[in-house]
Amino acid sequence: MAIDPVCHMNVNEKAAKYTSQYGGVTYYFCSKMCKDSFDKDPEKYLRK
């Protein structure tokens, strides 16, 4: 299971409908809304 970097929900990588590539890494999302938020400002969600 992957963790959605926006809402921190568990996401099954094999069933995920929404993914993004950033910095050579694939990120998985629970919804289009989370994916769109991440795509607008990935660094906001990766700074932690």
16-42 residue pLDDT tens:
999 999 999 999 999 999 999 999 999
pTM given for the model: 0.91
* Residue among 23, 36, 29 at smallest CA distance from 8: 29
pLDDT of residue 47: 87
Structure tokens at 7: 């809402």
Contact by Cβ (8 Å): 38, 25: no
Predicted confidence band at 48 (pLDDT cuts at 50, 70, 90)? low
Contact by Cβ (8 Å): 45, 6: yes
Average pLDDT over residues 37-48: 93
Distance between CA atoms of 28 and 2, rounded to whole angstroms?
7
